Structure 1
Amino acid sequence: MVDETLARDIDAVCRLTGEFTLRSGQVADTYFDKYLFEAQPALLDRVATGMLDLLPEDTELLGGLELGGVPIATTVSAKTGLPALFVRKKAKEYGTCKLAEGPDVAGRRVTLVEDVITTGGAVRDATRELRAAGAIVEVVVCAIDRSPADENPLADVGLEVRPVLTRAQLDAAAAQA
């Protein structure tokens, strides 16, 4: 069930128009600046609450992807009591040299937490690295899935995408505003 009030509020706060180059290299005329809602505690809390029913029951760790997934994963962790894991874009080259900060992932079910997914590049990279470290990664929950409707951009790595909001829902909210 779509929380139309959340869609309207998120859209009003974080939709930017112009010309934006995405991580994938694609150029878009619309950009959802997740930091604008993540910096507002009430909106961040509502997004995290929207993720609770999307989490697989067998989740053992919440893997927040650097940078935008970290505050969301931390908030979801506080609500569920599930330990959080902070997943870097690449392993540190000093100290512990870890890709993922937090508990050991080997043999554990990690649900990834991301802010916005378009092509899923960062999620795909993190999934491969976590699986190489022994994690079981099958689901990513995200605040916004801006990929084309009825398309799973992460099917090639066997990940199910579970969004709180989709681009279509945000577009519908914008049209009603």
Structure 2
Amino acid sequence: MSLDQELAAGDDIVTVFVDPGRRFSELRADLMAAGRRTAPTPRTTPPDPIRPGTQTLDSYAFQTRPTVLRRLAALMADLLPERLDRLIAATPDDTPLTTAIALHTGLAYALAEVPADHSSTAGTGLAVRGEIHRGERIAVVTAVTATGTSALRTADAARAAGTDVAAVLTAVDRDIQAAARLALAGHELRPLFTAVHPH
């Protein structure tokens, strides 16, 4: 393939000139650098395998950096199942990443708000900003998974609303049982990074 053909076929110039291994390692380094500059938030829980000795990886540390977000979206788009109709952000905190992936792929998206008690006027436990339709094939997007509680809550509520949840995508799975918990409920977790290892 000629350079002109590669440039025409590639999503961006980076995909043509930088090999995938290097792209992953550079992105991982940028995620860690962004995290180091962010102090733990009050929402923190278990230790973070990405940054030992800290309390958590704050997703805002990388979701507020356009250069990191753009690269995450491009790489996470490769994790999407085929024939998707829509993306749905697992929580309002996951809106930047979901929006970036939607812009990269052209997929429609919605934002979920699932109360902890699963209450809603619609009876599904899913309050949606935007829209989802019964029978749609969707992917739930979350920036970071630990135990998977938020992603599981959204995926279950989306399924109860009549959608086909094809996968749950995460930029970083902290490897604290999220994959196992989602699998028990019949959902597949597709992480870009598990702890510090790229997929």
TM range (shorter): 0.7 to 0.9
Matched, 1:110 2:125: no
Q: Is the contact made by 2:72 and 2:171 (CA closer than 8 Å) also made in structure 1?
A: yes
Can you give the 5+ residue segments of structure 1 that lack an aligned partner in the other structure?
171-177
Match of 1:77 among 93, 102, 109: 102
Q: Is the contact made by 1:118 and 1:153 (CA closer than 8 Å) also made in structure 2?
A: no
- TM-superposed CA distance for 1:21, in Å, is 5.9
C-alpha distance in 2 between matches for 1:54 and 1:161: 10
C-alpha distance in 2 between matches for 1:60 and 1:119: 27
SS at match of 1:153: helix
Sequence identity percentage = 29
Q: How many residues align?
A: 164
Match of 2:77 among 52, 66, 74: 52
Matched, 1:8 2:33: no
Q: Is the contact made by 2:146 and 2:178 (CA closer than 8 Å) also made in structure 1?
A: no
* Structure 2 partner of 1:175: none
Rg larger in structure: 2
* Mapping for residues 5-154 of structure 1, pairs under 5 Å: 5-15=26-36, 22=44, 26-28=45-47, 29-30=53-54, 31-90=56-115, 99-148=127-176, 152-154=180-182
* Structure 2 partner of 1:165: 193
Give the letter aligned to residue 47 of structure 1. Answer: L
Inter-CA distance 149–128: structure 2 relative to 1 (3 Å threshold):
closer
Q: Is the contact made by 1:64 and 1:114 (CA closer than 8 Å) also made in structure 2?
A: yes
Inter-CA distance 65–36: structure 2 relative to 1 (3 Å threshold):
same
Q: Is the contact made by 1:19 and 1:27 (CA closer than 8 Å) also made in structure 2?
A: no
Inter-CA distance 98–20: structure 2 relative to 1 (3 Å threshold):
closer
Give the letter aligned to residue 132 of structure 1. Answer: A
Inter-CA distance 162–18: structure 2 relative to 1 (3 Å threshold):
same
- TM-superposed CA distance for 1:121, in Å, is 0.3
Q: TM-score, normalised by structure 2?
A: 0.72
- TM-superposed CA distance for 1:151, in Å, is 5.3
Give the letter aligned to residue 42 of structure 1. Answer: T
Compare the two structures and name the one with the higher strand fraction.
1
Inter-CA distance 150–126: structure 2 relative to 1 (3 Å threshold):
closer
> Higher relative contact order at CA 8 Å, sep ≥6: structure 1 or structure 2?
1
Q: Is the contact made by 1:105 and 1:130 (CA closer than 8 Å) also made in structure 2?
A: no
- TM-superposed CA distance for 1:98, in Å, is 6.0
Can you give the 5+ residue segments of structure 2 that lack an aligned partner in the other structure?
1-19, 48-52
C-alpha distance in 2 between matches for 1:33 and 1:86: 20
Q: Is the contact made by 2:167 and 2:187 (CA closer than 8 Å) also made in structure 1?
A: yes
SS at match of 2:134: coil
C-alpha distance in 1 between matches for 2:146 and 2:83: 26
